[in-house]
Structure 1
């Protein structure tokens, strides 16, 4: 799938905002620690991906009721759903000057019911002409086996069009406002109501 940047200004994919607060001291501290382990951009991106995927448990897998959405909170509390984890990964990448954005899939249950929006990232590394999607949702043994891969996607969930699932080729510079509003309004994960429509 050829990915399309939604923002005309490339600087939008390096921006600091409420959700991707990469200037926060905690984000900066973690980024510096990861950079010390991985001096070039490729290795850093792979290391940051692994850090978010493996050390920030997906709250549904962990049975954690807390809802996080701001990158620094996700990293500080070490919990979040896919969207929250994508905000954290984008913050760590942008903290080191690597353009990062957001991509979305509409997924369903195995019978095609209960559509929900799944969030992941896209990254544009130096010297590359195209974006690559990466999914730091967190692996579940025997179910999800996502990995950092720039040329052959290794995402958490394959889209199943026969069940009405779909994905967008658009790389968003910021999470959609209605998605952020849903995360911010939820008192806990049990009462979190995610949108089902792909953002335009």
Structure 2
């Protein structure tokens, strides 16, 4: 399957990981949508819900592994990847194109690099990246269609990379790493996927 495309309509499908048709995902989407018919306001509400109500696994030291959107919703915990999967599903179920994006960031745990997952939403005729990772001291990600306010800026001097592609589905590097993991904190400490295989 080609994970890259230019047609926003290709970013509406559910799959095994972005399980937007799951009853619990659909129920949360309906609850969030009930307060607004405006797609941008709904997208902001979904972003803030995932950012603030699903804890980042490392921040709360929770070893449970979540991969799919419905797992992240049910357990209310996940790494950046699972949180991105849930936000993507919440947008797609409401017919708002959304895809997955990645950054290669310096990894203090290993001294190397690690992939960071975030999303892009298609509104007002263009893509806008959003980072639902979860805020903490030093991290202040906000929903914006005007100017990106992501969790971390990329520093090319440190070998960090902003990958430009918006993917229709999670990349295999992420899915395989999470499927093999029994303890997400151990995965985090021993090394997340370090880069995309492009």
The bucket for the TM-score relative to the shorter chain is over 0.9
Kept in 2: contact 1:112–1:164 (CA 8 A): no
SS at match of 1:103: strand
C-alpha RMSD of matched pairs (Å): 1.7
**C-alpha spacing 1:111/1:179, structure 2 compared with 1 (3 Å):** closer
Q: What is the match of residue 144 of structure 2?
A: 149
C-alpha distance in 2 between matches for 1:57 and 1:112: 22
C-alpha distance in 2 between matches for 1:129 and 1:6: 18
Match of 1:131 among 123, 127, 132: 127
- Paired residues in the alignment total 193
Consecutive aligned runs of 4 or more in structure 1 exceeding 6 Å deviation:
none
Kept in 1: contact 2:8–2:122 (CA 8 A): no
Length-normalised TM-score, structure 2? 0.92
C-alpha distance in 2 between matches for 1:161 and 1:25: 42
Once the two structures are superposed, the pairs formed by residues 36-185 of structure 1 within 5 Å of their partners are 36-109=34-107, 113-125=111-123, 128-141=124-137, 143-185=138-180
Once the two structures are superposed, residues 107-145 of structure 1 have per-residue CA deviations (whole angstroms, 9 ceiling, x without a partner) of 0146993200000000002xx22100000000003x100
Q: What is the match of residue 25 of structure 1?
A: 23
**C-alpha spacing 1:112/1:182, structure 2 compared with 1 (3 Å):** closer
SS at match of 2:77: coil
Q: Which runs of 5+ in 2 are unaligned?
A: none
Note the C-alpha offset of 1:6. 2.1
Length-normalised TM-score, structure 1? 0.91
SS at match of 2:117: strand
C-alpha distance in 2 between matches for 1:163 and 1:112: 14
Once the two structures are superposed, residues 5-29 of structure 1 have per-residue CA deviations (whole angstroms, 9 ceiling, x without a partner) of 9214433200110110000000000
**C-alpha spacing 1:165/1:30, structure 2 compared with 1 (3 Å):** same
C-alpha distance in 2 between matches for 1:104 and 1:41: 24
**C-alpha spacing 1:136/1:199, structure 2 compared with 1 (3 Å):** farther
C-alpha distance in 2 between matches for 1:56 and 1:110: 23
